[in-house]
Structure 1
Protein backbone atom coordinates (compact mmCIF):
# COMPACT_ATOMS: atom_id res chain seq x y z
CA UNK A 1 0.00 0.00 0.00
CA UNK A 2 2.98 2.28 -0.51
CA UNK A 3 1.62 3.98 -3.62
CA UNK A 4 -2.12 3.81 -2.98
CA UNK A 5 -3.98 6.76 -4.41
CA UNK A 6 -7.74 6.74 -3.91
CA UNK A 7 -8.31 8.84 -7.02
CA UNK A 8 -6.76 6.35 -9.42
CA UNK A 9 -8.61 3.49 -7.67
CA UNK A 10 -11.89 5.40 -7.92
CA UNK A 11 -11.30 6.22 -11.58
CA UNK A 12 -10.39 2.62 -12.38
CA UNK A 13 -13.43 1.27 -10.57
CA UNK A 14 -15.70 3.73 -12.33
CA UNK A 15 -14.27 2.76 -15.73
CA UNK A 16 -14.76 -0.94 -14.98
CA UNK A 17 -18.34 -0.27 -13.89
CA UNK A 18 -19.10 1.82 -16.97
CA UNK A 19 -17.57 -0.77 -19.31
CA UNK A 20 -19.53 -3.58 -17.61
CA UNK A 21 -22.78 -1.62 -17.79
CA UNK A 22 -22.21 -0.74 -21.46
CA UNK A 23 -21.51 -4.37 -22.39
CA UNK A 24 -24.67 -5.49 -20.60
CA UNK A 25 -26.78 -2.67 -22.04
CA UNK A 26 -25.60 -2.84 -25.64
CA UNK A 27 -24.81 -6.57 -26.00
CA UNK A 28 -26.79 -8.20 -23.19
CA UNK A 29 -23.53 -9.82 -22.02
CA UNK A 30 -21.90 -10.00 -18.61
CA UNK A 31 -18.32 -8.75 -18.41
CA UNK A 32 -16.83 -11.82 -16.73
CA UNK A 33 -13.35 -12.15 -18.17
CA UNK A 34 -13.07 -15.92 -17.72
CA UNK A 35 -16.39 -16.43 -19.51
CA UNK A 36 -15.39 -14.07 -22.29
CA UNK A 37 -12.03 -15.82 -22.68
CA UNK A 38 -13.66 -19.26 -22.59
CA UNK A 39 -16.04 -18.15 -25.33
CA UNK A 40 -13.14 -17.25 -27.62
CA UNK A 41 -12.38 -20.97 -27.82
CA UNK A 42 -15.79 -22.60 -27.36
CA UNK A 43 -18.49 -20.15 -28.50
CA UNK A 44 -20.03 -20.25 -31.97
CA UNK A 45 -18.00 -18.36 -34.59
CA UNK A 46 -20.53 -15.53 -34.82
CA UNK A 47 -20.06 -14.88 -31.08
CA UNK A 48 -16.26 -14.58 -31.06
CA UNK A 49 -15.61 -11.16 -32.58
CA UNK A 50 -16.90 -9.06 -29.68
CA UNK A 51 -15.02 -11.32 -27.25
CA UNK A 52 -11.72 -10.86 -29.09
CA UNK A 53 -12.28 -7.10 -29.32
CA UNK A 54 -13.10 -6.88 -25.60
CA UNK A 55 -9.94 -8.79 -24.65
CA UNK A 56 -7.83 -6.79 -27.11
CA UNK A 57 -9.19 -3.62 -25.50
CA UNK A 58 -8.05 -4.81 -22.07
CA UNK A 59 -4.54 -5.46 -23.32
CA UNK A 60 -4.43 -2.24 -25.36
CA UNK A 61 -5.71 -0.20 -22.43
CA UNK A 62 -2.98 -1.55 -20.17
CA UNK A 63 -0.38 -0.91 -22.85
CA UNK A 64 -1.66 2.61 -23.41
CA UNK A 65 -1.50 3.40 -19.68
CA UNK A 66 2.05 2.06 -19.48
CA UNK A 67 3.01 4.18 -22.48
CA UNK A 68 1.35 7.35 -21.13
CA UNK A 69 2.61 6.89 -17.57
CA UNK A 70 5.96 5.07 -17.70
CA UNK A 71 6.72 3.19 -14.51
CA UNK A 72 3.06 3.11 -13.45
CA UNK A 73 3.06 -0.68 -13.33
CA UNK A 74 6.20 -2.12 -11.78
CA UNK A 75 5.91 -5.90 -11.34
CA UNK A 76 6.89 -7.32 -7.97
CA UNK A 77 10.27 -8.95 -7.90
CA UNK A 78 11.52 -11.90 -5.90
CA UNK A 79 8.84 -14.51 -6.60
CA UNK A 80 9.96 -17.73 -8.30
CA UNK A 81 8.51 -18.28 -11.78
CA UNK A 82 7.30 -21.72 -10.71
CA UNK A 83 5.25 -20.21 -7.89
CA UNK A 84 3.72 -17.67 -10.27
CA UNK A 85 2.84 -20.42 -12.77
CA UNK A 86 1.23 -22.55 -10.04
CA UNK A 87 -0.69 -19.51 -8.80
CA UNK A 88 -1.96 -18.72 -12.29
CA UNK A 89 -3.01 -22.34 -12.79
CA UNK A 90 -4.87 -22.37 -9.46
CA UNK A 91 -6.68 -19.15 -10.39
CA UNK A 92 -7.83 -20.83 -13.60
CA UNK A 93 -9.02 -23.90 -11.70
CA UNK A 94 -10.83 -21.68 -9.22
CA UNK A 95 -12.67 -19.79 -11.93
CA UNK A 96 -13.90 -23.06 -13.42
CA UNK A 97 -15.03 -24.35 -10.01
CA UNK A 98 -16.76 -21.05 -9.18
CA UNK A 99 -18.29 -20.86 -12.66
CA UNK A 100 -16.78 -17.43 -13.16
CA UNK A 101 -14.12 -15.00 -12.08
CA UNK A 102 -13.93 -12.03 -9.76
CA UNK A 103 -14.92 -9.61 -12.52
CA UNK A 104 -18.03 -11.57 -13.42
CA UNK A 105 -19.17 -12.39 -9.89
CA UNK A 106 -17.79 -9.37 -8.02
CA UNK A 107 -18.63 -6.56 -10.39
CA UNK A 108 -21.54 -7.84 -12.44
CA UNK A 109 -23.08 -10.54 -10.24
CA UNK A 110 -23.30 -8.48 -7.08
CA UNK A 111 -24.78 -5.60 -9.07
CA UNK A 112 -27.53 -8.00 -10.18
CA UNK A 113 -27.96 -9.17 -6.54
CA UNK A 114 -27.01 -12.75 -7.46
CA UNK A 115 -26.73 -14.86 -4.31
CA UNK A 116 -24.30 -17.21 -6.08
CA UNK A 117 -22.10 -14.26 -7.02
CA UNK A 118 -22.16 -12.82 -3.52
CA UNK A 119 -21.12 -16.21 -2.10
CA UNK A 120 -18.40 -16.61 -4.74
CA UNK A 121 -17.04 -13.11 -4.12
CA UNK A 122 -16.91 -13.67 -0.36
CA UNK A 123 -15.05 -16.92 -1.04
CA UNK A 124 -12.58 -15.13 -3.35
CA UNK A 125 -11.93 -12.49 -0.69
CA UNK A 126 -11.45 -15.08 2.08
CA UNK A 127 -9.10 -17.15 -0.11
CA UNK A 128 -7.11 -14.02 -0.98
CA UNK A 129 -6.79 -13.04 2.67
CA UNK A 130 -5.66 -16.55 3.58
CA UNK A 131 -3.14 -16.57 0.73
CA UNK A 132 -1.65 -13.24 1.81
CA UNK A 133 -1.39 -14.49 5.39
CA UNK A 134 0.34 -17.71 4.32
CA UNK A 135 2.75 -15.94 1.95
CA UNK A 136 3.62 -13.12 4.34
CA UNK A 137 3.65 -14.91 7.66
CA UNK A 138 4.10 -18.64 7.15
CA UNK A 139 6.46 -18.85 4.19
CA UNK A 140 9.90 -17.56 3.40
CA UNK A 141 8.61 -15.20 0.69
CA UNK A 142 8.40 -11.67 2.09
CA UNK A 143 8.89 -9.60 -1.06
Structure 2
Protein backbone atom coordinates (compact mmCIF):
# COMPACT_ATOMS: atom_id res chain seq x y z
CA UNK A 1 0.00 0.00 0.00
CA UNK A 2 1.27 3.46 -0.93
CA UNK A 3 1.01 5.43 2.33
CA UNK A 4 2.17 8.64 0.64
CA UNK A 5 -0.81 8.66 -1.72
CA UNK A 6 -3.13 7.74 1.16
CA UNK A 7 -1.85 10.61 3.30
CA UNK A 8 -2.06 13.03 0.39
CA UNK A 9 -5.67 12.01 -0.18
CA UNK A 10 -6.44 12.37 3.53
CA UNK A 11 -4.85 15.83 3.74
CA UNK A 12 -6.60 16.90 0.53
CA UNK A 13 -9.95 15.72 1.85
CA UNK A 14 -9.43 17.55 5.13
CA UNK A 15 -8.53 20.74 3.27
CA UNK A 16 -11.62 20.46 1.05
CA UNK A 17 -13.80 19.98 4.14
CA UNK A 18 -12.17 22.89 5.96
CA UNK A 19 -12.59 25.20 2.97
CA UNK A 20 -16.28 24.26 2.71
CA UNK A 21 -16.78 24.92 6.44
CA UNK A 22 -14.84 28.20 6.22
CA UNK A 23 -16.90 29.45 3.26
CA UNK A 24 -20.18 28.50 4.98
CA UNK A 25 -19.11 29.92 8.34
CA UNK A 26 -17.72 33.21 7.10
CA UNK A 27 -19.99 33.97 4.17
CA UNK A 28 -22.94 31.61 4.47
CA UNK A 29 -22.12 30.21 1.02
CA UNK A 30 -22.02 26.66 -0.32
CA UNK A 31 -18.67 25.60 -1.80
CA UNK A 32 -20.26 24.22 -4.96
CA UNK A 33 -17.95 24.86 -7.90
CA UNK A 34 -20.68 24.85 -10.56
CA UNK A 35 -22.67 27.44 -8.61
CA UNK A 36 -19.63 29.60 -7.96
CA UNK A 37 -18.59 29.58 -11.63
CA UNK A 38 -22.13 29.73 -12.99
CA UNK A 39 -23.11 32.74 -10.91
CA UNK A 40 -19.84 34.47 -11.71
CA UNK A 41 -20.52 34.09 -15.43
CA UNK A 42 -24.29 34.59 -15.60
CA UNK A 43 -25.59 36.62 -12.68
CA UNK A 44 -22.72 38.60 -11.25
CA UNK A 45 -24.55 40.20 -8.35
CA UNK A 46 -22.91 43.52 -7.52
CA UNK A 47 -20.12 43.05 -4.98
CA UNK A 48 -20.39 39.27 -5.18
CA UNK A 49 -17.69 38.41 -7.72
CA UNK A 50 -14.52 39.08 -5.67
CA UNK A 51 -14.88 36.05 -3.38
CA UNK A 52 -15.85 33.85 -6.34
CA UNK A 53 -12.76 34.87 -8.32
CA UNK A 54 -10.58 34.41 -5.23
CA UNK A 55 -12.02 30.94 -4.61
CA UNK A 56 -11.40 29.89 -8.22
CA UNK A 57 -7.87 31.32 -8.18
CA UNK A 58 -7.23 29.23 -5.07
CA UNK A 59 -8.41 26.10 -6.89
CA UNK A 60 -5.96 26.80 -9.70
CA UNK A 61 -3.02 28.16 -7.70
CA UNK A 62 -3.00 25.39 -5.07
CA UNK A 63 -1.90 22.63 -7.44
CA UNK A 64 0.46 25.00 -9.25
CA UNK A 65 2.12 25.83 -5.92
CA UNK A 66 2.49 22.15 -5.06
CA UNK A 67 4.12 21.55 -8.47
CA UNK A 68 6.42 24.57 -8.05
CA UNK A 69 7.57 23.20 -4.71
CA UNK A 70 8.38 19.88 -6.38
CA UNK A 71 5.42 17.95 -5.03
CA UNK A 72 3.96 16.90 -8.37
CA UNK A 73 0.33 16.03 -8.89
CA UNK A 74 0.68 12.28 -8.84
CA UNK A 75 0.66 9.93 -11.77
CA UNK A 76 -2.52 11.29 -13.32
CA UNK A 77 -1.65 10.35 -16.89
CA UNK A 78 0.10 7.04 -16.06
CA UNK A 79 3.35 8.67 -17.06
CA UNK A 80 5.76 9.99 -14.44
CA UNK A 81 6.35 13.70 -14.73
CA UNK A 82 3.18 14.41 -16.69
CA UNK A 83 0.44 16.51 -15.17
CA UNK A 84 -2.29 15.32 -17.49
CA UNK A 85 -2.16 13.23 -20.62
CA UNK A 86 -3.96 13.29 -23.91
CA UNK A 87 -7.75 12.96 -23.61
CA UNK A 88 -8.59 9.27 -24.06
CA UNK A 89 -11.28 10.01 -26.64
CA UNK A 90 -9.81 13.13 -28.19
CA UNK A 91 -10.40 16.83 -27.62
CA UNK A 92 -13.83 16.91 -29.30
CA UNK A 93 -15.17 14.16 -27.04
CA UNK A 94 -13.71 15.99 -24.03
CA UNK A 95 -15.53 19.20 -25.06
CA UNK A 96 -18.82 17.34 -25.56
CA UNK A 97 -18.38 15.61 -22.19
CA UNK A 98 -17.70 18.95 -20.48
CA UNK A 99 -20.79 20.44 -22.11
CA UNK A 100 -22.92 17.51 -20.90
CA UNK A 101 -21.51 17.84 -17.38
CA UNK A 102 -22.47 21.52 -17.46
CA UNK A 103 -26.01 20.64 -18.49
CA UNK A 104 -26.14 17.98 -15.77
CA UNK A 105 -25.04 20.36 -13.04
CA UNK A 106 -27.72 22.78 -14.19
CA UNK A 107 -30.42 20.10 -14.13
CA UNK A 108 -29.18 18.74 -10.80
CA UNK A 109 -28.90 22.21 -9.25
CA UNK A 110 -25.28 21.59 -8.36
CA UNK A 111 -22.28 19.34 -8.63
CA UNK A 112 -20.39 16.84 -6.51
CA UNK A 113 -18.73 19.54 -4.41
CA UNK A 114 -22.00 21.28 -3.62
CA UNK A 115 -24.13 18.19 -3.14
CA UNK A 116 -21.50 15.60 -2.21
CA UNK A 117 -19.42 17.63 0.22
CA UNK A 118 -21.68 20.40 1.47
CA UNK A 119 -25.14 18.89 1.02
CA UNK A 120 -24.36 15.50 2.55
CA UNK A 121 -22.70 17.13 5.55
CA UNK A 122 -25.98 19.03 6.12
CA UNK A 123 -27.92 15.74 5.81
CA UNK A 124 -29.81 16.99 2.75
CA UNK A 125 -31.99 14.28 1.18
CA UNK A 126 -31.90 16.17 -2.12
CA UNK A 127 -28.10 16.13 -2.05
CA UNK A 128 -28.05 12.44 -1.16
CA UNK A 129 -30.28 11.71 -4.16
CA UNK A 130 -28.11 13.86 -6.44
CA UNK A 131 -24.85 12.29 -5.21
CA UNK A 132 -26.16 8.74 -5.63
CA UNK A 133 -27.32 9.70 -9.13
CA UNK A 134 -23.84 11.10 -9.95
CA UNK A 135 -22.13 7.94 -8.73
CA UNK A 136 -24.47 5.49 -10.46
CA UNK A 137 -24.19 7.45 -13.71
CA UNK A 138 -20.38 7.44 -13.45
CA UNK A 139 -20.31 3.69 -12.78
CA UNK A 140 -22.57 2.99 -15.76
CA UNK A 141 -20.55 5.31 -18.01
CA UNK A 142 -17.24 3.66 -17.11
CA UNK A 143 -18.75 0.21 -17.64
CA UNK A 144 -20.18 1.12 -21.05
CA UNK A 145 -16.99 2.85 -22.25
CA UNK A 146 -14.66 0.10 -21.06
CA UNK A 147 -16.69 -3.05 -21.62
CA UNK A 148 -19.34 -2.30 -24.23
CA UNK A 149 -17.47 0.15 -26.44
CA UNK A 150 -14.07 -1.41 -25.65
CA UNK A 151 -12.24 1.83 -24.91
CA UNK A 152 -9.96 2.90 -22.09
CA UNK A 153 -7.75 0.84 -19.84
Provide TM-score, normalisation by structure 2: 0.85
Task: Give me the whole-angstrom Cα distance separating, in 1, the residues matched to 2:16 and 2:73.
Answer: 22
Superposed CA offset, 1:119-143 (max 9, x none): 0000000011011111111113224
* Structure ranking higher in helix proportion: 1
Question: How many residue pairs are counted as aligned between the two chains?
Answer: 142
Three-state SS of the structure 2 residue aligned to 1:85 is helix
Show structure 1 runs of 5+ residues with no match. Answer: none
Which is bigger in relative contact order (C-alpha 8 A, separation at least 6)? 1
Superposed CA offset, 1:15-68 (max 9, x none): 000000000001111100011111212131211110111011101112112222
Superposed CA offset, 1:77-130 (max 9, x none): 343111111111111010000000100000000000111000000000001101
Three-state SS of the structure 1 residue aligned to 2:47 is helix
Show structure 2 runs of 5+ residues with no match. Answer: 77-82
Mapping 1:39-78, distance limit 5 Å: 39-41=39-41, 42-68=43-69, 69-70=71-72, 72=74, 73=76, 74-77=83-86, 78=88
Name the Cα RMSD after superposition: 1.9
Whether the aligned pair in 1 keeps the contact of 2:23 and 2:30 (CA below 8 Å) is: yes
